Structure 1
């Protein structure tokens, strides 16, 4: 049974699941009834961070135009333009044993595409979640439901996998940002 996390909680991933190497991080959301005349497109992105919390290069920014990073250890399965239906809207496959040693954290974010131009924000999004499951047996290991804490934000840092004493842990962050993807990219040390 999955461990259900609240904002700010940290939980061990590999120590309590010995031998776990391959995981999938599923991210999902629903858009509230919206009649602004524009499509609503949410995107998940992944930032591969060094010990100082920054990306070493643009190759460490995984998103719909750069689906693979960390020498193939991290793979985004592609962009879902609508978010329709139940379950995961986008997924990221990770081979934990193959993540290069210089990557200390793997941060997961959700942003609203062209949010400012379309006058959209996370106040119009509900049921956002992140979950980690074992693709070998489908077992859900960790689930984090973000709740409805957001209003004007256009980007959310959902959570991060991080190394601690040779093991991988997950931190449920749930922190909103204004400025969309561009502000996240800058904060993680890249030029937009």
Structure 2
């Protein structure tokens, strides 16, 4: 039963995923296509992954794709065969994907589809594979070790069982799953996505808040962008050009006003800074600090978007750690990653909030559809940095768009490699089109 649909990109934001049945589960898989341990199963009996990126809540799943640990390559969505479709909704309640599953015949459990990483972002592929023996058989296929008594009497759903002893890392037993607390409050770990994020770049305050000064400040700090060893390629094809050195991601989590000091894993030079902030009717801002512990130029982020998610590029200083000052009301996460982890702009790309994007294609026209915030307001701007010789940003970026409110526009893109800084105060969609020449 079932079939595989053509893969489609999804925004690297927090998605609410439902399959029409309460018996829905997520399996977080490593590069080998298997779970790493019992914590990598999220279902009603174990409703939160330790990273906090995946949660089971009210018969649906919450996937914070921008929070997923880098070791996780795929997230499989499974459930009882009663569900006939999978749908995912963005924080602004826009439906970003819907996949219909053929009615099962003798199957008791179904793998609806999977989210997987590609080119620094996330894609979804429908699967629709059924398992006649139920979820116990299904999860076994992904490295879960089902206890003998559970295998003899396969249940249509996953049920929390008493725990005899803490489970060690490795195969998961359905009879030894305990409820785990959500992760939080840690700084300096190496968890987290990408992107892409799928995650998000720049400030998104009102049009009169000094956007030109912000962009000029970024441009000035980027002039010394020269790649080091272990650089990450611009694209999968291995063409010449790099976007800075590679390094292990840094993540910090907290709540309220804070100062974040990035550790020594992050080298000097341009880096991708991603941030999320929970809650509605609130405010979030981030600024870099200079050697005198004072604000170093305009804000990296300045937003009143609900459930904010964003990314931008900043210069990590030489000889001292990068430090960020956060103005926040609620829980936040900040992640620092190589610039090469930013989402690639190709085809149609959708997002929510500010985002740093990479473009490596030929000259093209870029169609921009800016939906704005919940009231249709908000500011949108697009700055274009040429990356000279694949290593150094242009000192004078081009301002391609600078408007307020809902907007549809088409702007020209030169050939890549480019770094695009989209300052989006709401939902947006970008489509790359071949020019008429």
Q: Same fold (TM over 0.5)?
A: yes
Stretches of 4+ moved more than 6 A in 1?
A: none
Q: Write out aligned runs for 1:79-158 (5 A).
A: 90-111=59-80, 122=81, 125=82, 128-135=84-91, 137-148=92-103, 150-158=104-112
Matching residue of 2:51: 71
Distance 1:8 1:184 in 2: 17
1:179 to 128, 133, 140: 133
Aligned-CA RMSD value: 1.7
- Match of 2:84, SS state, is strand
1:12 to 5, 9, 12: 9
1:22 CA displacement: 1.4
Matching residue of 1:169: 123
1:185 CA displacement: 2.1
1:166 CA displacement: 0.9
- Match of 2:66, SS state, is helix
1:74 CA displacement: 0.4
Contact 1:70 1:99 in 2 (8 A): no
2:31 to 24, 29, 51: 51
Larger Rg: 2
Stretches of structure 1 that go unaligned for 5 or more consecutive residues are 1-5, 15-19, 30-41, 79-89, 112-121
Name the TM-score, length of structure 1 as normaliser: 0.70
1:27 aligns with 2:19: yes
1:45 CA displacement: 1.0
Contact 2:16 2:89 in 1 (8 A): yes
**Structure (1/2) with the larger helix percentage:** 1
Distance 1:159 1:8 in 2: 8
Contact 2:110 2:138 in 1 (8 A): no
1:170 CA displacement: 0.2
Stretches of structure 2 that go unaligned for 5 or more consecutive residues are 147-437
Distance 1:70 1:13 in 2: 23
1:70 CA displacement: 5.1
Aligned length: 144
Matching residue of 1:86: none
Matching residue of 2:303: none
- Match of 1:170, SS state, is strand
Distance 1:186 1:143 in 2: 26
